Amino acid sequence: MSSTFGKLFCITTFGESHGTAVGCVIDGCPAGLFLSRDDFAADMARRRPGHGAFASARREDDEVEILSGVFDGKTLGTPIALMVRNTGHNSADYDDLRHVYRPGHADFTYMAKYGLRDHRGGGRASGRETAARVLAGVVAKKILEKMEVAVTAQVTAIGGITITGDFMQNAQVVALLEDCKQNGDSIGSQVVCSIVGLKSGIGAPVAHKLSADLAAAMHSIGGVKGVEFGAGFAAADMHGTQHNDPFVALGGIITKSTNNAGGILGGISDGDEIIMRIAFKPPPSIAAAQSTVDTDGKPAQITIKGRHDPVIAPRACVVVEAMAAITLVDHIMLDNAGRILS
Amino acid sequence: MSSTFGKLFCITTFGESHGTAVGCVIDGCPAGLFLSRDDFAADMARRRPGHGAFASARREDDEVEILSGVFDGKTLGTPIALMVRNTGHNSADYDDLRHVYRPGHADFTYMAKYGLRDHRGGGRASGRETAARVLAGVVAKKILEKMEVAVTAQVTAIGGITITGDFMQNAQVVALLEDCKQNGDSIGSQVVCSIVGLKSGIGAPVAHKLSADLAAAMHSIGGVKGVEFGAGFAAADMHGTQHNDPFVALGGIITKSTNNAGGILGGISDGDEIIMRIAFKPPPSIAAAQSTVDTDGKPAQITIKGRHDPVIAPRACVVVEAMAAITLVDHIMLDNAGRILS
Amino acid sequence: MSSTFGKLFCITTFGESHGTAVGCVIDGCPAGLFLSRDDFAADMARRRPGHGAFASARREDDEVEILSGVFDGKTLGTPIALMVRNTGHNSADYDDLRHVYRPGHADFTYMAKYGLRDHRGGGRASGRETAARVLAGVVAKKILEKMEVAVTAQVTAIGGITITGDFMQNAQVVALLEDCKQNGDSIGSQVVCSIVGLKSGIGAPVAHKLSADLAAAMHSIGGVKGVEFGAGFAAADMHGTQHNDPFVALGGIITKSTNNAGGILGGISDGDEIIMRIAFKPPPSIAAAQSTVDTDGKPAQITIKGRHDPVIAPRACVVVEAMAAITLVDHIMLDNAGRILS
Amino acid sequence: MSSTFGKLFCITTFGESHGTAVGCVIDGCPAGLFLSRDDFAADMARRRPGHGAFASARREDDEVEILSGVFDGKTLGTPIALMVRNTGHNSADYDDLRHVYRPGHADFTYMAKYGLRDHRGGGRASGRETAARVLAGVVAKKILEKMEVAVTAQVTAIGGITITGDFMQNAQVVALLEDCKQNGDSIGSQVVCSIVGLKSGIGAPVAHKLSADLAAAMHSIGGVKGVEFGAGFAAADMHGTQHNDPFVALGGIITKSTNNAGGILGGISDGDEIIMRIAFKPPPSIAAAQSTVDTDGKPAQITIKGRHDPVIAPRACVVVEAMAAITLVDHIMLDNAGRILS
């Protein structure tokens, strides 16, 4: 089940970067949810390359097809298969890469695992695969919306520069990205994901802590190098008197006066905002010349053709939201089931 | 399955801090592995409180009982049930806490989820539960040993002070901990986990990346606030030319000249050392007076009795190793099965 | 997960026939259910050997110990570990069987799978393992009771003789069993399991049909050779006009005027009584001399010592009920979770 | 996961009878298997309606599309998505059925579970869904072929008439089916599935006995009312001396001189032929007038339009083979992983 997320709200994605199509099967979506092709447009646009000065040139039309699970505009409770055909990719760009391992990519490890690979783009490791997750995320977010839970992810840093608002309005960031473009280089970035409106009591102790499952969901996104909650790594430097969040009651609701916990205690939501910070490495596809080896282990020099994103975070926000939403819906369902007697 | 780790090498833990016993069932251990009670002694000693000047005073005898799955000193391939009875705990220490929520603890969230709780200690959220994981970790490490894979975790920082070697030899750290003791306070810490000897090709793309499953395993440990691999959060500030690890061939083996990846590319091991950094919050059980609310939401002041660890990392290392080992064995099995035809 | 039943109401059993203990971990029982050791007495007595003229002589005290998951007489929502120590078995009876494969037993197949085995009794294949299932079944039945769902299994045939009521009142059956005892032989049997009170809409289409999961649960019991629902194998001889159950409305409730379906349509409960028939082979442990081979493949003659049950059904009824109840609770939970939006 | 079969060789099917497409995702197929569209032709032809005098008239072109997981004619080890568009169905035939529950169908239970349904055909309960299973079965059988394991299913009885060879050569059967056609009726049937070449030691004790998983796979097929192994229900009438299969050694291989076990002992293969008998009810879609209720519970009479199969077994054989093969591959993989140390 290396391509399935979740236990009750199960998302199975399929598709290689340069294969026929990418898509997903959502097994476990409740019946009666309104769903149409139009619902996918906004989020698919957010992850689409080719818009913005610094984005990858691949044109993806992303014509979403609902293959099953929807009738008369409503979900049936049965598996929803969603598909987007792959178009606009130029496989010839990858001919030179058939016998060489790109640094920072999964070419070598896929070969080590499978003994063969689709050398045209990253296969399953490609950012293209995330289109399937975004599709599933749209459905998950529609479910959360009905529960008034909002999941939002934002770029908070690029190359060490802190960002508030639109990163394209930040002159320092624009200059940095322009620099990357000139030098055939790329740059790392950070995203913060916020979950608001989740009631307390969602999650599980021990093996499926909400924090553990959210962290796994984030680390499943390509390029993620670190994930932290609330005070995060800074907590390692703090005292207990400083880190412990005092409980207070506001208008009859028990909450906390600070939120170093990041909204999760003992793996279970405490009703507060869940705050998660995610670190992305710089994209490994760079135009600058690189040393590597070929598939026989002989030294080689490569220059990666085509135009590639110089930074991951801007396009990854919608993927972060999708994965967080998918994880939440799965946990809410598990929790709902556990309360069968009450 | 909120208490089960793994898909093929399945570990289910059970037991509350102040209940009858804690233990685990290991379902999926191969037959023919030598296993006896003596195997557990060293690691159980490493996580045991009550030794060292700054450790919790709870005396745990940790008499391990093998209930099933072993015959004539060898594993049978059937479920191995392991159990340690709870002794030496003083439940009376917790009488005052029956109707109050301790800051930084899971009292409130367990109540929100279950509607009732065992107020004597943290129940499943207690560090006591990790004894069960350490038992399973011993078995996992024995399997890895046969494959010449070594998993080791070390304390690398306490309260912002970098540590090399034994933290008790570091005067600055000892002073800091002494300070905590005097002030009824606690302090955060960091651990680094290293995995050496794992061949390339272990892991999975997309949903069960080795990094994702290891991160989930780490975040399942109480007090963990952040996990990062290789360059980690620092990668967010790096350029691609700097972060990409060039492939090189050494003695016929393809490896990398640097290891910002931390031994995992695209969710699959690259044969290099896997490096994982884990941030622990300061233990929430502190002697200093704290503001909180009672179960009716009324303001309350509490002072936590008993002697508690002022720092998590030293005793957590063996738990980190256990969880890493359990995750690795599960992935190695999955990978082995996937190669059925080769 | 070869010893775990269920997805949400997960039962993991452990223990060999002649090991230290047998038991189970129930992960997913809702919080707040009253549970004490006394709850297990009645069902454990029903499966206990040694009572009745024709039962196995092994004395099992079956002192049930609740190791975790219960506090102040109520379930905590956390894993419930239950254990019964193995006593009263005479391992010496099995010394002769160390190097020989008993016909009809799993000695040979366990050896083929694991390469070693516990030769003292059937190990995991022993009827002793079902004690663990009965423990879990008691908890499942308590949950069903609150929903007014009743699960009952009865012996309906022994050696081709149809039975109504207590089989020990049937002179023909008593004579048959007496005969078996004289001749060192055993006899096959049948059980019918009835589930009353389950509302319509429980189950799933395609992969986890309620019928499929119930059938798997039944076939997981030692000695089961066939399972059928409603009209069962007789349906293969019927016409559609005869087999189709007409829908009717009785007092505003839609039901069926006949029940060839056996209470399940398309894998989902229809609100009617669920009827399941289970065929048991004659117990393979017989006193009569048998031809077989030893572990080296050389011809051997064996005579199985000790007193063994001449028929499975009487003691299996409580196991059938346990497995049916466990399966139902799991499905009810899944269904409950699927209705999250309604 | 109500539409996912298997743990390591995972098959998720999707698609309603009258929706856009049916298909499946195969997650866990090893890399390097040759696979092309042509591989599916033979088995898809076997399950296709519209050929033969007594088959359903729906014309299915069954143009198979491989959406992912195959490159250069070989599997990549990544998810294989397969799809067949739905064509040739006449949804108008079902207009009369929008507000009525067909006897013997899942219309009522789907409504009870989901609160809404696709009334055009059986939705997920339709025989059409089995096309997706046949696609996955083709891949499973290719894997088994490499291991020289053969799975074959045959019609052995229709309406109580025993069949050897092609049922269309049997005058009695042809007359019976002609009769059904005249009377707008249908008839029950039986299939025997044989697995030859599976080595001993495949399967698991307790929860995932090979017999239990095979039985579940069979009961997941629409219309199945009973499944038995080896002597099956007849074992309930037999003595132990008669039913126990003596072990013998033939040419150094340990086998059995009879096969009442049906090739499985204690849930694990014994190396002998696995024999499974499956009972199918008569198809519920009959032209004869039937009493039922409408969705408001009011009495109604219905006559089902269109031409439908009068018997299930002939077209179901390939589905039986597919489900058996999928289950076997999953178990072989699990077993392979369990032997990691040997």
Q: What is the mean pLDDT of chain D?
A: 93
Reference D223, options C238, C327, C153, C200; nearest CA is: C238
For tokens 């003791």, what's the residue?
B181
**B1 touches D: beta carbon within 8 Å:** no
Task: Say if residue D186's pLDDT is above 60.
Answer: yes
Question: C240 and chain D: CB distance < 8 Å anywhere?
Answer: yes
Residues of A whose CB is below 8 A from B283:
240
**What pLDDT sits at residue D308?**
87
CB pairs under 8 A between C and D: 389
Is B31 within 8 Å of chain C by CB? Answer: yes
**Chain C residue with Cα closest to A340:** C333
Partner residue opposite C31 with nearest CB, options B1, B2, B114? B114
| Residue C81 contacts B where some CB pair is shorter than 8 Å | yes
Strand D80-85 and strand D64-66: pairing? antiparallel
d(CA C219, CA C121): 21
pLDDT at B293: 97
Smallest Cβ–Cβ distance between B21 and the set C67, C116, C117 belongs to: C67
Taking CA–CA distances from A336, the nearest residue in chain C reads C337
pLDDT recorded at residue B324? 98
Contact B30 D339 (CB under 8 A): yes
Within a domain: B139: yes
**Chain C residue nearest residue B68, CA to CA:** C15
Q: How far apart are CA B224 and CA A229, in angstroms?
A: 9
**Closest CA of chain D from C150, distance in Å:** 20
pLDDT at D120 over 70: yes
Could you give the CA distance from residue A85 to residue A19 in angstroms, rounded to a whole number?
A: 9
Provide the 3-class DSSP secondary structure of residue C10: strand
pLDDT band at C4 (very low <50, low <70, confident <90, very high): very high
Q: Is C266 on the interface with A (CB under 8 A)?
A: no
The pLDDT value recorded for residue C49 is: 72
Q: By the CB < 8 Å criterion, does A301 face chain B?
A: no
**How many Å is the maximal CA-CA distance in chain C?**
69
Q: Are D322 and D151 in contact (CB under 8 A)?
A: no
> Rounded mean pLDDT of C144-160?
97
**Residues B2, C27: C-beta atoms closer than 8 Å:** yes
B10 shares contact with chain C (CB less than 8 Å): yes
Would residue C251 count as lying in a domain?
yes
Give the per-residue pLDDT at B323.
98
Q: Which residues pair with B195 in a beta bridge?
A: B151, B274
CA distance D306 to chain B (A): 44
In chain D, whose CA is at the least distance from the CA of A14?
Answer: D79
CA distance B108 to chain C (A): 14
- Angle at which helix A313-338 crosses helix A130-146, to 10 degrees, equals 50
How many CA atoms does the CB half-sphere of B139 hold within 13 Å? 33
- Is residue B43 pLDDT above 70, yes or no? yes
In this structure, the number of other CB atoms found within 10 A of the CB of residue C32 comes to 16
Q: B207 by DSSP, 3-state: which?
A: helix
CA–CA distance, C223 with D265 (Å, rounded to integer): 9
Question: Which pairing describes strands C150-158 and A290-293: parallel, antiparallel, or unpaired?
Answer: unpaired
Question: What pLDDT, in 10s, does the model give residues C228-263?
Answer: 999 999 999 999 999 999 999 998 899 999 999 999
- Does A309 lie at the interface with B, CB-CB under 8 angstroms? no
pLDDT above 60 for D57: no
CB contact under 8 A, A225 and B233: yes
Q: Say if residue A51's pLDDT is above 90.
A: no
Higher pLDDT, A83 or B117: A83
| D121: alpha, beta or left? (left if phi > 0; alpha if psi -120 to 50) | left
The tokens for C295 are 């572990």
Task: Mark yes or no for CB contact D30/B339 under 8 Å.
Answer: yes
Q: Which residue of C has its CA nearest to D226?
A: C228
Residue D342 domain flag: no
Q: Quick one: closest CA in C to B11, which residue? A: C1
Question: pLDDT digits over D123-147, tens only?
Answer: 999 999 999 999 999 999 999 999 9
Q: Is D60 helix (H, G, I), strand (E, B) or coil?
A: coil
Q: Which helix (H) or strand (E) covers residue D214, if one does?
A: helix D210-219
Please identify among residues 112-131 of chain B the ones whose CB lies closer than 8 Å to any CB of chain C: 113-118, 123-124
Q: Could you give the CA distance from residue A48 to residue A33 in angstroms, rounded to a whole number?
A: 26
Give the H or E element holding residue B157. strand B150-158
Asked whether residue C282 carries a pLDDT value surpassing 70, the answer given is: yes
- Measured distance CA(D219)–CA(A200) in Å, rounded: 40
pLDDT, tens digit, 9 for 90 and up, residues B69-100: 999 999 999 999 999 999 877 777 788 888 99
Contact of A211 with chain B, judged by CB distance below 8 Å, is answered with: yes
Exposed, middle or buried by CB within 10 Å (0-12, 13-18, 19+), for C97? middle
Quick one: pLDDT band at residue C60, thresholds 50, 70, 90?
A: low
Q: Is the pLDDT of residue B130 over 90?
A: yes
> What average pLDDT does the segment B27-45 reach?
96
In a domain, C34, yes or no: yes
Distance from the B33 Cα atom to the nearest Cα atom in chain C, whole angstroms? 11
Separation between Cα atoms, residue B110 and residue B123, nearest integer Å: 9
Q: Cβ contact (<8 Å) for D77 and B143?
A: no
| Average pLDDT over chain C, rounded to an integer | 93
Number of Cβ within 10 Å of residue A213's Cβ equals: 28
Q: If phi over 0 gives left and psi between -120 and 50 gives alpha, with beta otherwise, what is residue D27?
A: beta
Contact D13 C206 (CB under 8 A): yes
- Report strand pairing: C150-158 vs C189-196: antiparallel
Among B3, B8, B68, B139, most C C-beta atoms within 10 A, so best to mutate, is B68
Asked if the C-beta of C185 comes within 8 angstroms of chain D's C-beta atoms, the answer is yes
Task: Map tokens 């399991």 to a residue.
Answer: C193
SS3 B329: helix
Alpha-carbon separation of residue D109 from A34, A333, D125 (angstroms)? 22, 22, 11
Rounded to 5 degrees, what are φ and ψ at A68? -165, 170
**Is the Cβ–Cβ distance between C212 and D278 less than 8 Å?**
no
Contacts of residue B80 in chain C, CB cutoff 8 Å?
A: 14
The whole-number pLDDT of residue D13 equals: 98
Give the list of residues 6+ apart from residue B335 with CB closer than 8 angstroms, or none.
A113, B201, B202, B203, B204
A20 in Cβ contact with D65 (< 8 Å): yes
Chain C within 8 Å of B71 (Cβ-Cβ)? Answer: yes
Report ipTM (2 d.p.): 0.96
CB-based contact B3 A299, cutoff 8 Å: no
CA distance B6 to B12: 9
Q: Note whether D143 contacts B: Cβ–Cβ < 8 A.
A: yes
- Residue A201: inside a domain, yes or no? yes
SS3 at position D192: strand
Angle at B48 between CA B42 and CA B54, to 5 degrees: 125
Residue D44 CB-half CA count within 13 A: 23
CB-nearest to A76 from D22, D71, D123 is D123
- CA–CA separation, A82 vs D77, rounded Å? 21
Rounded average pLDDT over B12-27: 96
Overall domain count for chain C:
1
Number of B/C CB contacts below 8 angstroms equals 152
Read off the DSSP letter of residue C105.
S
Does residue A342 lie in a domain region?
Answer: no
User: What digits encode the pLDDT tens for the residues A68-89?
Assistant: 999 999 999 999 999 999 987 7
Least confident of A201-205, B52-56, C300-304: B52-56
Nearest to C226 among D185, D232, D248 (CB): D232
Q: Is C8 on the interface with A (CB under 8 A)?
A: yes
The answer, yes or no, to whether residue A308 has pLDDT greater than 90, is no
Q: Which residues contact C45 (CB under 8 A, 6 or more apart)?
A: C51
**Residue-by-residue DSSP string for B33-55:** -B--GGGGHHHHHHH-SSSSTTS
Query: Of B8, B25, B124, which is closest to C14 when you measure between CB atoms?
Result: B25
CA angle, B201 then B203 then B207, to 5°: 140
Tell me the mean pLDDT in the region B110-121: 90
CB contact under 8 A, B208 and A125: no
- DSSP secondary structure code for residue D124 in this structure: G
Radius of gyration of chain D (CA): 21
- Enclosing domain of residue D218: 4-337
| Residue C192 pLDDT greater than 70, yes or no | yes
Could you tell me if residue D285 is inside a domain? yes
Please indicate, yes or no, if residue C266 is contained in any of the structural domains: yes
What are the Cα distances from residue D72, in Å, to A90, A97, A118, D75?
17, 16, 8, 8
Indicate if the pLDDT at residue A207 is higher than 70: yes
Q: Work out the number of other CB atoms within 10 angstroms of the CB of residue D135.
A: 28
Which range among B12-16, C155-159, D331-335 shows the weakest confidence by mean pLDDT? D331-335
Chain C closest CA to D300's CA: distance in Å?
A: 9
- For the whole prediction, is pTM greater than 0.90? yes
pLDDT at D56: 61
Average pLDDT over residues C64-80: 97
Q: What is the CATH number for A119?
A: 3.60.150.10
Residue B274 pLDDT exceeds 70: yes
